[in-house]
C-alpha cells in the first residue's frame, strides 16, 4: 500500500486503470470498441496529454498478445497499402501536437467515422460495385487520418476498422491485420513520445507494468468472446461497436 500511495493514486483510480488494462486486452484480440472508454477514463486520472504516455505502453503490451495469437492471419497486401500513409499521419501529428485542440480533433474524427460508415453501408447495398476501397486515395486518407488520430489521442481504432471493413476481410484476417498494424504503429510512437513529447517516465512505466495481469485476463476473455460470435454477424457487430465508439469520442 505504501508503494501505491507513493504513486499518488487512490484505490478507485487503480481499479479504473486495471479495468482499462482488461478492456484493452479484449480489444486487441478482436472485440473492437470496448477500449474506447479507456481514453476518457485515463484522461480523467492523468490529464489529456499525460494520459497518452500512460496508455501507449499498455497498448504495446496488449499488441503482443494480439499478434501472438493472430500473427498468421494478417492480410499484408492491405497492410502495406495503408502503413506508409499512417506513418505520415503520425509524424504530422507529432509536429502539430502542441497546437491541436484535442476536443475539436476528436469531434472531427467522430464525424469522419460516421461519414465513412455511411459510405460503407451504401456500398454494401450496391453489391457488385466498389465505391472506393481499391483507390489509392482511400488507403492514403484512412492511413493519414489513422496515424494522426493514434498519435494525438490513441483513437485510431474506429478509423482503421472502417478501412478493414471496406476490404470485406474475414473475421480472423480483420483481427490479424489490425493487430500487426497497431503493433507497428505503437512501437514506432514510443521513442517519439518518450524523447519528443516527454510524457513517458519511469513512474508511468511502473503503472503500465502493473496492468499486465489485467491485459492478459482481458485477452483471454476476448479470444473466447470472438469464438462465440458467428462469422456472418461479426461484420455487423464491428460496425455497431464502431458507431458507438464514434459517439464516445463526442463526449
Share of the chain above pLDDT 90, in %: 41
Task: Let me know the angle formed at the C-alpha of 111 by 59 and 182, rounded to the nearest 5 degrees.
Answer: 20
pLDDT at 103 over 60: yes
Listed residue (86, 195, 188, 201) closest to 147, CA to CA: 86
Average pLDDT of the segment spanning 72-99 = 89
pLDDT at 19 over 60: yes
- 124-137 b/e with 16+ CB inside 10 Å = b? eeeeeeeeebeeee
Q: What pLDDT, on a 0 to 100 scale, did the predictor assign at position 75?
A: 94
Average pLDDT of the segment spanning 48-72 = 91
pLDDT at 249 over 90: no
Q: Where do the domains of the chain lie?
A: 2-249
The residue to which cell 455487423 is assigned: 236
pLDDT in tens, 137-195: 889 999 998 898 888 777 788 888 888 888 888 889 999 999 999 999 999 999 999 99
Mean residue pLDDT of the chain comes to: 84
Give the count of alpha carbons within 13 A of 142, CB side only: 30
Q: What pLDDT, on a 0 to 100 scale, did the predictor assign at position 233?
A: 83
DSSP per position, 219-239: HHHHHHHHHHS-HHHHHHHHH
Helices (H) and strands (E) in the chain, counts: 12, 0
Amino acid at each position: 500500500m505504501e508503494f501505491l500511495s507513493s504513486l499518488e493514486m487512490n484505490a478507485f483510480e487503480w481499479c479504473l486503470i486495471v479495468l482499462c488494462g482488461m478492456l484493452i486486452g479484449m480489444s486487441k484480440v478482436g472485440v473492437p470498441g470496448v477500449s474506447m472508454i479507456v481514453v476518457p477514463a485515463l484522461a480523467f486520472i492523468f490529464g489529456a496529454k499525460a494520459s497518452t504516455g500512460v496508455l501507449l505502453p499498455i497498448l504495446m503490451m496488449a499488441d503482443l498478445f494480439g499478434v501472438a495469437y493472430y500473427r498468421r492471419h494478417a492480410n499484408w497486401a492491405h497492410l502495406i497499402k495503408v502503413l506508409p500513409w499512417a506513418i505520415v499521419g503520425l509524424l504530422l501529428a507529432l509536429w502539430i501536437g502542441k497546437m491541436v485542440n484535442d476536443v475539436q480533433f476528436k469531434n472531427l474524427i467522430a464525424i469522419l467515422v460516421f461519414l465513412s460508415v455511411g459510405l460503407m453501408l451504401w456500398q454494401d447495398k450496391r453489391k457488385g460495385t466498389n465505391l472506393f476501397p481499391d483507390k489509392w486515395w482511400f488507403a492514403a486518407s484512412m492511413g493519414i487520418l489513422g496515424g494522426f488520430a493514434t498519435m494525438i489521442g490513441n483513437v485510431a481504432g474506429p478509423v482503421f476498422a472502417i478501412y478493414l471493413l471496406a476490404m470485406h476481410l474475414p473475421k480472423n484476417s480483420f483481427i490479424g491485420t489490425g493487430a500487426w498494424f497497431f503493433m507497428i504503429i505503437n512501437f514506432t510512437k514510443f521513442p517519439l513520445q518518450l524523447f519528443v513529447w516527454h510524457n513517458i517516465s519511469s513512474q508511468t512505466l511502473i503503472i503500465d507494468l502493473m496492468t499486465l495481469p489485467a491485459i492478459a485476463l482481458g485477452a483471454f476473455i476476448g479470444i473466447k468472446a470472438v469464438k462465440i460470435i458467428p462469422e456472418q454477424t461479426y461484420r455487423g457487430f464491428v460496425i455497431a461497436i464502431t458507431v458507438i465508439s464514434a459517439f464516445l469520442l463526442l463526449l
